[in-house]
C-alpha cells in the first residue's frame, strides 16, 4: 500500500488541482503575517513559510497579497502588482517546492474593510461605512474598477513568472470582491450592482481576465464567502448559486470557503465559543452545489482524525488549516508518521489574529517560534549535557524543561502542588475555556517522553535546589494576587482567589467582579459566575470590558455575557462598601451607583511576581539563573511559554 494509506488514507492522499497535483489534502490557508520587508519577501517571511512546507502541508496559500496601490496601506503589507516583488517570490517558490508542496498566491483587495486609517482613502462599490472601523469609502468609478481588475491580472502574471503554482482570488469575508457580490455593501444601480448577475460581474471579470492571461497551466482558485450572517447580506443560497455557476463555467480549479464579514467578525476565526468543525454543514452544502470542482473546507479543525472524517463523509475534497498549522507547522508530518499525540494543538485563543491586526508580526500563544523562525532558528543540541533544575511546573517551567531536554540536558522539575499546569489547569475546567488545557497537556506529554524528572508536591526551596547541584536553574514560580484596598466598613467579603468562583465555591447570588485584567482570565471568571446563576456586575476602569481580548473573541464573549444578564460597568471603580452594599463611582463624571446586598467582591487584577527564589539562589553561588513567566513579571500565557522556550535554549 502507498505510504499515505495509513490511519488517514484520504487526508494524506494526493489531489489534482487543475494542472498541478498536491501531495496531500491539507491546504495551509492564507493569513497575514506582517513579515514582509519593503513590500516583498525577506528572510523572516521566507523562514515562516519554509516551516509550513517542511511540516508537510500539500498546498500553501500565501498571505493576502495587495494587487493595487489603493489598498497598499501599511509598510508590512506584501504586494504582488509591482515587478520588484518577483525575485523574492521566486526564492519563496523554490523553498516551498523543495519540500514538495504547492505554492499559491492569494490575490486580495480589502476595499472598505480596514482596521485603521493605514489606507488613506478606502475604495468600495458603494459609499457605505465599514461596519468595524466606521470609515466611509470612496465609491469606485468604472475606470477604477477596470484598473483594479488589471491589478489582479498583473499580480497573477507576476506570480506565474516567479514560479508559483497558481493564484487564489479572495472573494470572501467581506473584502472588495465580496463587497461587490453582497447587497449589504453594494447599492450601485449601474452594470456593477443591483441584480445577482451584475453583482457577480466583478469577480467574473477578474477570474476570466486572470485565466485568459495566465493560461491553463497555472492553478486559479477562488475564496468564496458562504454566508455573511448579516441582514441583507450574502446567504447560503446565494453562495450555492455562485458555486454552481463557477463550476459550470470551468475557469477555476478549486473553491476555498469562509464566512462572515466585518459586521460578523467573530465568524472569520471562530474561537472556543464555537464548536469544533463549526459551519461544516454550510461548507458541505457548497460542496454539493459545486459537484466535481474541488472544495476546501475551513471549519476549525484541530486533529487529523477530524480532518479525515470530513473527507470520508464527502463534505469536502481538502481541509484548510490556518491556526492549527501556526500552532504546529509539523501537523501533517506528525500525522503521517503516527505521532498525532505529539501535535501541539491550537487552543483557539486568537492571539495570532490579535497581533496581526495591530500590525505586529504573527505570533502564537502555544508556539513561540511562529513568526520568529528566522530569529530563533532550529534548536541547537547542547555541546555537553548539563544538570538543569526548573522551579515551577506551570507553562513557563514546562516549556523550559521541554526545550532543555530536547537539547540533551538532564532536567528536573519541582512543582509545589500535586499536579502540573499552574493556573491553566483551573481555566480548563471552565466552559468555553476547556481547550486552554491543550497547552499544558502537550507539555506534560513531551516532558514525559523526554525523560524529564518531575517531582510534584515539592516546593522548590533554595536548599532543595542546591542539593541537586545544578548547572543552571529556571525560576518559574508564578505570581501571587495583590489584595485590593477597598474603603468602607468591611461589610462585604473580598476575595483575590478567582479559583473560588471557578470551583463553584462562592456563596450568595449577587457578586461584583472587579476586573483589572481585561483578558482571558477575567473572562473565565466572569463567564463561570454567570453560568452558576449568579447575578454578576463587572466593574472595570477601562473604556470597555475585556478590552485585551482579540476583537474576534471579544465579540463572542460579550455576546455570551449579555445573554446571561451580566451587567458591565466600564469607566468605573469600587468607591466603598457600606452596610452590605457596594458603591461604584464613574471615573470621569463622579456619578455613584449602589449595588445592594452584595455577597462577595471578587478581585481579578495585578499580581506580585514570586521572584525571591532567584536572589536566594544567587546568594548561594548559583549564577546561571533564568527567571521566566509571571515570576519575571505577571502577564499572559503567551509570554510565559515564549520565555520558557528562550530559557530552554539559553541554559
CATH number at residue 503: 3.50.50.60
Identify the helix (H) or strand (E) that includes residue 153: helix 142-161
Instruction: From 247, 59, 71, 49, select the one nearest 152 (Cα to Cα).
Output: 71
- Same-domain check for residues 432 and 445: yes
Q: Does any domain span residue 274?
A: no
Asked, for residue 326, whether it belongs to a domain, the answer is: yes
Q: 314 and 233 in one domain?
A: yes
Say whether both 300 and 355 belong to one domain: yes
Residue 433 domain-assigned (yes or no): yes
Residue 1 has pLDDT above 50, yes or no: no
Q: Quick one: average pLDDT of 245-251? A: 97
Task: Give the pLDDT mean for 305-327.
Answer: 98
The predicted structure's pLDDT at residue 133: 80
CA distance 162 to 160: 5
Report the DSSP pairing between strands 472-475 and 387-391.
Answer: parallel
Q: Of the ranges 42-51, 370-379, 523-532, 589-598, which one carries the lowest mean pLDDT score?
A: 523-532
Tens digit of pLDDT for each residue in 110-157?
Answer: 999 986 566 788 999 999 998 888 889 999 999 999 999 999 999 999
Helix (H, G, I), strand (E, B) or coil at 438: helix
Number of domains, the chain:
3
Q: Which residues pair with 532 in a beta bridge?
A: none
Query: What is the rounded average pLDDT for all residues in the chain?
Result: 94
- Does 392 map to a domain? yes
For the chain, report the end-to-end CA distance as a whole number of angstroms.
45
pLDDT for position 2: 47
Q: Tell me: the pLDDT tens digits for 409-419? A: 999 999 999 99
Are 521 and 582 in a shared domain? yes
Q: Give dist(CA 87, CA 39) in Å, integer.
A: 12
The answer to which of 204-218, 229-243, 263-277 has the lowest mean pLDDT is 263-277
CATH number of the domain enclosing 627? 3.40.50.720
| pTM, to two decimals | 0.95
State the sign of the Cα–Cα–Cα–Cα dihedral 49, 52, 56, 62: negative
Whether 302 is covered by a domain: the verdict is: yes
- Same domain, yes or no: 298 and 151: yes
Together in a domain, 477 and 359:
no
> Does residue 468 share a domain with residue 405?
yes
444 and 502 share one domain: no
Does the pLDDT at position 389 exceed 60? yes
Cα(347)–Cα(438) distance, rounded to whole angstroms? 6
Strand partners, 608: 480
160, 217 contact by CB (below 8 A): no
Q: Is residue 414 part of a domain?
A: yes
> Which of 376, 410, 426 is the C-terminal boundary of a domain?
376
| 502 and 428 together in one domain | no
- Residues 509 and 360 occupy one common structural domain: no
CB 95 within 8 A of CB 53: yes
Q: Which domain holds residue 391?
A: 387-481+609-650
Amino acid at each position: 500500500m502507498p505510504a499515505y494509506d495509513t490511519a488517514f488514507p484520504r487526508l494524506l492522499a494526493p489531489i489534482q488541482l487543475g494542472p498541478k497535483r498536491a501531495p496531500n489534502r491539507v491546504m495551509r490557508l492564507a493569513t497575514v503575517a506582517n513579515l514582509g520587508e519593503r513590500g516583498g519577501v525577506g528572510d523572516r517571511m521566507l523562514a515562516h513559510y519554509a516551516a509550513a512546507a517542511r511540516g508537510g502541508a500539500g498546498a500553501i496559500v500565501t498571505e493576502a497579497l495587495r494587487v493595487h496601490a489603493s489598498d497598499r496601506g501599511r509598510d508590512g503589507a506584501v504586494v504582488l502588482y509591482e515587478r520588484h516583488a518577483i525575485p523574492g517570490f521566486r526564492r519563496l517558490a523554490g523553498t516551498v517546492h523543495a519540500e514538495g508542496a504547492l505554492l499559491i498566491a492569494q490575490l486580495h483587495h480589502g476595499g472598505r474593510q480596514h482596521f485603521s486609517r493605514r489606507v488613506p482613502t478606502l475604495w468600495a462599490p458603494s459609499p457605505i461605512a465599514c461596519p468595524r472601523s466606521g470609515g466611509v469609502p470612496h465609491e469606485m468609478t468604472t475606470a477604477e474598477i477596470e484598473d483594479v481588475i488589471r491589478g489582479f491580472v498583473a499580480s497573477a502574471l507576476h506570480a506565474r513568472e516567479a514560479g508559483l503554482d497558481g493564484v487564489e482570488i479572495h472573494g470572501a469575508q467581506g473584502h472588495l470582491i465580496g463587497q461587490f457580490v453582497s447587497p449589504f455593501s453594494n447599492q450601485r444601480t449601474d452594470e456593477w450592482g443591483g441584480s445577482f448577475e451584475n453583482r457577480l460581474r466583478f469577480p467574473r471579470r477578474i477570474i476570466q481576465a486572470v485565466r485568459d492571461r495566465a493560461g491553463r497551466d497555472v492553478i486559479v482558485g477562488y475564496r468564496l464567502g458562504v454566508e455573511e450572517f448579516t441582514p441583507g447580506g450574502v446567504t447560503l443560497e446565494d453562495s450555492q448559486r455562485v458555486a454552481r455557476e463557477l463550476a459550470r463555467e470551468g475557469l477555476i480549479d478549486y473553491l476555498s470557503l469562509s464566512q462572515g464579514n466585518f459586521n460578523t467578525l467573530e465568524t472569520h476565526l471562530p474561537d472556543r465559543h464555537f464548536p469544533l468543525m463549526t459551519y461544516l454543514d454550510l461548507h458541505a452544502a457548497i460542496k454539493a452545489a459545486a459537484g466535481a470542482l474541488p472544495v476546501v473546507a475551513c471549519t476549525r479543525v484541530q486533529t487529523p482524525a477530524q480532518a479525515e472524517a470530513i473527507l470520508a463523509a464527502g463534505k469536502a475534497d481538502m481541509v484548510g488549516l490556518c491556526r492549527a498549522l501556526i500552532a504546529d507547522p509539523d501537523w501533517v508530518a506528525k500525522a503521517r508518521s503516527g505521532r498525532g499525540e505529539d501535535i501541539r494543538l491550537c487552543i483557539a485563543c486568537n492571539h495570532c489574529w490579535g497581533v496581526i491586526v495591530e500590525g505586529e508580526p504573527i505570533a502564537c500563544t502555544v508556539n513561540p517560534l511562529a513568526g520568529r523562525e528566522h530569529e530563533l532558528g532550529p534548536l541547537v543540541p547542547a555541546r555537553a549535557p548539563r544538570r538543569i533544575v526548573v522551579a515551577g511546573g506551570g507553562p513557563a517551567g514546562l516549556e523550559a524543561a521541554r526545550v532543555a531536554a530536547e537539547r540533551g540536558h538532564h532536567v528536573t522539575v519541582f512543582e509545589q502542588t500535586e499536579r502540573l499546569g499552574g493556573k491553566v489547569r483551573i481555566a480548563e475546567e471552565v466552559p468555553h475555556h476547556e481547550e486552554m488545557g491543550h497547552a499544558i497537556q502537550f507539555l506534560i506529554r513531551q516532558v514525559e517522553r523526554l525523560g524529564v524528572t518531575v517531582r510534584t508536591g515539592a516546593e522548590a526551596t533554595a536548599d532543595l535546589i542546591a542539593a541537586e547541584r545544578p548547572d543552571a536553574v529556571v525560576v518559574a514560580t508564578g505570581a501571587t494576587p495583590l489584595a485590593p484596598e477597598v474603603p468602607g466598613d468591611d461589610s462585604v467579603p473580598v476575595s483575590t482567589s478567582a479559583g473560588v468562583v471557578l470551583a463553584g465555591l462562592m456563596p450568595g447570588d449577587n457578586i461584583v467582579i472587579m476586573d483589572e485584567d481585561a483578558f482571558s482570565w477575567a473572562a473565565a471568571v466572569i463567564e463561570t459566575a454567570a453560568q452558576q446563576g449568579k447575578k454578576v456586575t463587572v466593574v472595570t476602569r477601562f473604556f470597555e470590558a475585556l478590552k485585551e481580548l482579540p476583537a474576534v473573541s471579544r465579540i463572542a464573549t460579550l455576546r455570551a455575557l449579555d445573554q446571561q444578564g451580566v451587567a458591565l460597568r466600564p469607566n468605573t471603580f469600587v468607591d466603598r462598601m457600606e452596610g452590605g452594599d457596594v458603591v461604584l463611582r464613574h471615573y470621569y463624571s463622579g456619578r455613584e451607583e449602589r449595588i445592594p446586598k452584595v455577597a462577595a467582591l471578587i478581585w481579578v487584577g495585578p499580581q506580585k511576581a514570586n521572584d525571591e527564589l532567584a536572589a536566594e539562589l544567587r546568594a548561594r553561588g548559583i549564577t546561571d539563573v533564568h527567571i521566566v513567566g509571571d515570576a519575571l513579571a505577571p502577564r499572559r500565557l503567551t509570554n510565559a511559554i515564549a520565555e520558557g522556550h528562550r530559557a530552554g535554549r539559553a541554559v
